Amino acid sequence: MPADSYRFVYDQYGNTREILVYTRGIGVYGNNYTNKGTAFTEEERRALGLDASLPPAVRTLEKQVENSVRTVGAKGDDIERYIYIRSLFDRNVTLAHALIRSDIERYMKIIYTPTVGLACQRYSSMFRTANGLIFYPGNIDRAEDILRYYSHRDIRVAVVTDNQGILGIGDQGAGGIAICLGKLMLYTQGAGIAPWHCLPVSLDVGTNNEALLNDDEYLGWRHRRLTGDEYVEFVQRFALAFRRVFPNAICQWEDFSKQNAFATRDAYLHDLISFNDDIQGTGAITLAAVISAMRAKGEKLADQVFLIHGAGAGGVGVAEQIETALKELGLSVAAARNRIFALDSRGLVTTDRGLEPYKMKYAKEPGDLAWFKEEGDGGLENVVRNAGVTVLVGTSGRTGCFSREVVAAML
Q: Which positions are catalytic?
A: 112, 183
Treating both helix axes as pointing N-terminal to C-terminal, what angle do 313-328 and 258-267 enclose, rounded to 10 degrees?
40
Handedness of CA 46, 51, 53, 55 (dihedral sign): positive
Task: Give the end-to-end CA distance of the chain in Å, rounded to a whole number.
Answer: 62
Q: Is 403 exposed, middle or buried (0-12, 13-18, 19+ CB in 10 A)?
A: exposed
Q: What is the b/e burial string over 32-69, where b = at least 16 CB atoms within 10 angstroms of the residue's CB?
A: bbbbbebbbeeeebeebebeeebeeeebebeebbeebe
Measured distance CA(190)–CA(175) in Å, rounded? 24
